[in-house]
């Protein structure tokens, strides 16, 4: 299993978010009881009024060099486990670039 999947021209990313962290970072994998893998991410923002979700999207946009408006939360609004949609991330050239970055995060375990 992997932390991403393709949905047409979009890339879906599974993330386990830790809000209220001392520093913002992405890296490593967390595996749930069903064996599904989730990319680990930490943000400083607190989980109030969507602040942590917004911080996660901003962090991903910056680290992936991707427009913030093209990254949306698919599920997990009030849960640590989130699925995000990266619009256009499944296009062949974009996917080639993004998958290299995401693989490095996964290997940072």
Q: Is the dihedral of CA 106, 108, 68, 58 positive or negative?
A: positive
What is the residue range of 19's domain?
A: 4-107
| CATH code of the domain containing 97 | 3.30.1200.10
Q: What is the pLDDT of residues 5-27, one digit of tens each?
A: 999 999 999 999 999 999 999 99
Token representation of residue 5:
């999947």
pLDDT of residue 1: 58
How many domains does the structure of the chain reveal?
A: 1
pLDDT at 108: 85
pTM score, whole prediction = 0.94
Beta-bridge mates of residue 6: 11
Model confidence over 30-40: pLDDT tens digits?
Answer: 999 999 999 99
pLDDT per residue as tens digits for the range 39-84: 999 999 999 999 999 999 999 999 999 999 999 999 999 999 999 9
The CA angle 12-54-43, to the nearest 5 degrees, is 90
């Amino acid at each position: 299993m992997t932390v991403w999947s393709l949905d047409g021209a979009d890339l879906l990313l599974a993330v386990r978010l830790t809000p209220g962290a001392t520093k913002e970072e992405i890296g490593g994998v967390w595996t749930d009881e069903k064996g599904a893998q989730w990319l680990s991410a930490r943000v400083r923002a607190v989980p109030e009024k969507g602040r942590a979700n917004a911080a996660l999207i901003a962090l991903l946009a910056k680290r992936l060099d991707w427009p913030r408006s093209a990254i949306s939360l698919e599920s997990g609004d009030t849960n640590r486990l989130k699925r995000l949609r990266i619009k256009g991330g499944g296009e062949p050239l974009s996917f080639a670039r993004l998958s290299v970055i995401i693989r490095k995060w996964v290997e940072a375990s």
